[in-house]
Chains A and B, each alone.
Chain A
Amino acid sequence: MELSEHLFRRESGRLVAALTRIFGVHNLALAEDVVQDAFCRALEVWKVRGIPDNPSAWLMTVAKRRALDIVRRERTAHTFAPELSRVLESEWTLAPAVEEAFAGSTIRDEQLRMMFSCCDPRLPEEVQVALVLNILCGFGASEIASAFLTSRAAMEKRISRGKKSLASSRRLFDLADAEFAPRLSAVARALYLLFNEGYHGASPEAAVRIELCQEAIRLTMLLLDSPQTATPETQALAALMHLHAAKLPARIDSAGELNPLLEQDRTRWDARLIADGLALLDRSAEGSVVSAYHVEAAIAAVHATAHSVEETNWDAIVNLYDRLMGIAPSPIVALNRAIAIGQRDGPEKGLESIHAIADRDRLRRYPFYPAAIAELELRQGNLAAAEQYFSAAATLARSGAERRFLERRVREVSEAHRHHVAPTMH
């Protein structure tokens, strides 16, 4: 029998959630120890006896037994979950309470509460994301550190800081809390950042980044699983992730090289993810609020349904970017809008729009700012300017893939410059 992919990592998040329900969030470390112990046991037993038919159930049984032992042995000395304190005191109710904590619906709800607790606005966003990856997705500090290109020590510090704050809260976030709506926004934002890290992030390993995207989608779908958190905004976020994830197979090729949207082989886009994304976008249209996620998903949908760059409805995209500038203005949104204008009205108009970006000095370190100027200059036939801007972009590259891609553009343009012919237009 084969283990399903990432079984331990997935089970880790579920088991920690169930155990935290019993032990209380102030005993998060104890919950993690129990899970670690269950995994050690699985390693030792499975390797000689073979993998059981239902590995998840096996792990759960070990965790349950251990939880019962711990509560029985330490309930006089220790306080466990304040919500369950009476129930855990008596043998009559202890076993059913532990059983209940491991029921499917409880695990789902507790994972949601954990997610909401991790996204405490008093914590910096990078700490929130690290906590979600560690506690709910089962990534170790070293794995998160390598995805974010930071040191393991720095990541451990970030996670332990977050956990200290979690432990001091005594109980997990209550979804009936008055703060529910703003906290849901914080959760959505953290998942959006998590997805972005996978999509644009620094890790040179494509596999790592695809996993981050998959985790972001999995947790967003968990939000959609529960009526309370399945708001139109969450639907839009899920749509956005699906529509972008569909492009991943074409965006990074097998050699780990980056292919920009305009150059991607669209037959490699994942039709299933596109269909799911469009269905989610459809459902997100209920209600009266149009969030940034709605608009971003709509833009992604226009791209995803176009068979080629030429057939893309650039007018619709420019209008959507206008709308996005109204909801969530940022120089990056403005830059994307300018690129769309360049596609619709020609390079001259595109360059005009770029030079009109109000706070464009905030794009100083963003490699695709000079790269966009370079592409438009190239299209105007200004090879010297294009080469210069591509070179500037290459020095700002944040990852090997970005650098290799931009250096390739520099080479192509300088080659063409020498021969006085423009390279293929993109």
Chain B
Amino acid sequence: MGSSVFPVDDYLGFRCPAVTGSNVIYVDAQGMVMRAFKEQRYMSQFVYLYRMTDAARQEAMGTPERAQQNMQRWMAWMTDLDKKGHLKDRGQPLERSGKVVRGQQKTVTDGPFTEAKDLVGGFTLIEARDIDQAVDLSRGCPILEGGGSVEVRPIMKMDM
């Protein structure tokens, strides 16, 4: 039996879903495993940008009881992503206030809330096979129930 130990989910298919850490298999076809391992290392990363209008944000809060239910749905969704190994980084929430610096004049305005209707309220870093899977995973996001949106953007790959 082989000499290497790699955490690989499904090396035979040459499609490696996220590393779960639990699936460790011994393989003797050295080169094949290396390839699988490599693919897995380059599993794609995506950013979820959470967008919501102020009105939708207030509505999602609604009453304290609704806020709590909303929170529980978020926690469940995040936990599920994490368990399946898709959660690379929980990310950060963003303040809704800030400044926008623009043009050669470097004019500074309060923003972006004066201009954009739905603001980015935070982001999360996701690992997925491809954009289709990343989009699929986002369907469970509770922000969608509250009229917000998830923008799914691939992180640019720099294969050098």
Contact = CB atoms under 8 A, between A and B. Distances in A.
Identify which of B63, B64, B78 gathers the most chain A CB atoms within 10 Å of its CB.
Answer: B64
Interface stretch (A1-9, A70-78, A98-106, A246-254): A1-9
A6 B70 contact: no
Contacts of B68: 3, 6-9
A8 B121 contact: no
A142 B65 CA distance: 11
A45 interface: yes
Interface residues of A, number: 25
Given A6-B64, A39-B61, 13 more contacts: A3-B72, A7-B68, A8-B65, A8-B67, A9-B64, A39-B67, A42-B67, A43-B61, A44-B93, A45-B93, A142-B63, A143-B63, A143-B65
A330 B75 CA distance: 52
B16 interface: no
| Interface range on chain B (Cβ under 8 Å from partner) | 20 to 34
A139 B65 CA distance: 7
B122 interface: yes
Instruction: Report, nearest first, the 4 A-B pairs whose CB atoms are least far apart.
Output: A140-B63, A8-B64, A47-B74, A44-B93
B65 A9 contact: yes
Interface string A1-26: 00100111101100000000000000
B91 interface: yes
Interface string B85-128: 00000111100000000000000000000000000011010000
B124 A48 contact: yes
Contacts of B75: 3, 46-47, 50-51
Given A44-B121, A48-B92, A48-B122, A139 B63 contact: yes
A6 B67 CA distance: 10
Interface of A: 3, 6-9, 11-12, 36, 39-40, 42-51, 138-140, 142-143
Judged by DSSP, the binding face of A is: helix
22 contacts: A3-B71, A6-B64, A6-B65, A8-B67, A9-B63, A9-B64, A9-B65, A11-B64, A39-B64, A43-B61, A43-B67, A43-B71, A47-B74, A47-B78, A48-B91, A51-B71, A51-B75, A138-B64, A138-B65, A139-B63, A140-B66, A142-B63
Nearest to A9: B64
A48 B93 contact: yes
Contact of B90 (A7, A11, A48, A138): A48
Contact of A43 (B70, B90, B92): B70
Contacts, number: 75
Nearest to B54: A40
A46 B92 CA distance: 10
A45 B72 CA distance: 13
B122 A140 contact: no
Contacts of A40: 57-58, 61, 67
A39 B60 CA distance: 11
A22 to B, nearest CB: 20
B83 to A, nearest CB: 14
Contacts of B92: 48
A404 B147 CA distance: 38
Contact of A140 (B62, B70, B71, B91): B62
Nearest to B72: A3
Contacts of B58: 36, 40
A410 B91 CA distance: 62
Contacts of B78: 47-48
Interface string B41-83: 0000000000000000110111111111011101100100000
Nearest to A35: B64
Identify which of A8, A40, A42, A47 gathers the most chain B CB atoms within 10 Å of its CB.
Answer: A47
A138 B91 contact: no
A73 B58 CA distance: 24
Contacts of B71: 3, 8, 42-43, 46-47, 51
